[in-house]
Amino acid sequence: MPRILVIEDEPDIQTLLRFNLEREGHAVVVASSGEDGLHELRRQPFDLVLLDLMLPDRDGLEICKVMRAKETLATIPIIMVTAKGDESDVVIGLSLGADDYVTKPFRVKELMARIKARLQRTRDGAADAERKRIQVRGLVIDPVRHRVAVDEVAVPVTLTEFRLLHFLASHAGVAYGRYDLLDNVGGDGDAVTDRTVDVHIRNLRGKIKPYDDLIETVRGIGYRFSETASS
Ligand code: CA
């Protein structure tokens, strides 16, 4: 169920949006001010934000800027909901990284269609990224076939090893703690604990030689796929 955060201070519009979004099958959280909105964003994950520009405290443009500057929030789609006459704000908002906008009074059907399209685009993008073959030097990671090849020779890896390697390589240059890695690769029934992450990494390094240096140990944090190697 897609989770939508509505940052909007007008009670009538809050009610209208909540009613229609819930009817479309979305989970809805409403925040009545910019500060509340940021608080909710820090507290839980969202798939899309409907952002009013005129808010009582921090205005929508500022929220937009804060979200785009923060790695964990940067990719959440933002649709601005603006008052008529705010065209210059719309331009600024789009340049700050908002994805789309509607002008009040908006047609509910149109807004729902735009939300749907935006969510679909996110899903397509995620699916594409997921399917993308990764090649770094002589190492090839193929997420479609769940296969790893070293200098064109397939090497057998377990599902957990594959997921670990693919996850790290998909986020080259980013260091992840063991628990973060567990969150992202767990759930296949293996008894995966933070200690076993180390074991899986050790095994993986052994299997992807001579490219084992691509998986770097980051002291005090965990592991990282070499950034300089990203193709
Ligand atoms: Ca407002």
Residue 227 is predicted with a pLDDT of 84
Please give all residues whose CB falls under 5 A of ion ligand 1, grouped by chain where several chains appear. 9, 52, 54
Distance 103 CA to ligand 1 centre (A): 12
**pLDDT digits 0-9 by tens, 143-185:** 877 889 999 999 988 878 888 999 999 889 999 998 888 877 7
Q: Does residue 17 surpass a pLDDT of 90?
A: yes
**pLDDT digits 0-9 by tens, 19-48:** 999 999 999 999 999 999 999 999 999 999
Distance 65 CA to ligand 1 centre (A): 18
Distance 9 CA to ligand 1 centre (A): 5
Percentage of the residues of the chain whose pLDDT score is greater than 70: 94
Residue 132 is predicted with a pLDDT of 79
The string of DSSP letters for 156-212 reads ---HHHHHHHHHHHHTTT-EEEHHHHHHHH--SSS---HHHHHHHHHHHHHHTTTSG
Q: pTM for the complete prediction?
A: 0.60
Distance 35 CA to ligand 1 centre (A): 14
Give the chain's mean pLDDT: 88
Residue 143 is predicted with a pLDDT of 83
Going by pLDDT thresholds of 50, 70 and 90, the confidence category of residue 231 is very low
Q: Mapping DSSP to helix (H, G, I), strand (E, B) and coil, where does residue 138 land?
A: coil
Residue 23 is predicted with a pLDDT of 96
Q: Does residue 86 surpass a pLDDT of 90?
A: no
Q: Does residue 215 surpass a pLDDT of 60?
A: yes
Distance 13 CA to ligand 1 centre (A): 9
Distance 82 CA to ligand 1 centre (A): 8
Query: How many angstroms separate the CA atoms of 204 and 211, rounded?
Result: 10
Distance 225 CA to ligand 1 centre (A): 44
Distance 7 CA to ligand 1 centre (A): 9
184 half-sphere exposure, CB direction, 13 A CA radius: 19
Distance 41 CA to ligand 1 centre (A): 19
Element (H, E) at 79: strand 78-83
Distance 75 CA to ligand 1 centre (A): 24
CA distances from 64 to 28, 49, 189 (A): 19, 10, 39
Domains, the chain, ordered by start: 3-126 (3.40.50.2300), 128-225 (1.10.10.10)
Element (H, E) at 40: helix 34-43
Distance 8 CA to ligand 1 centre (A): 6
**pLDDT digits 0-9 by tens, 52-69:** 999 999 999 999 999 988
**pLDDT digits 0-9 by tens, 121-132:** 888 877 776 677
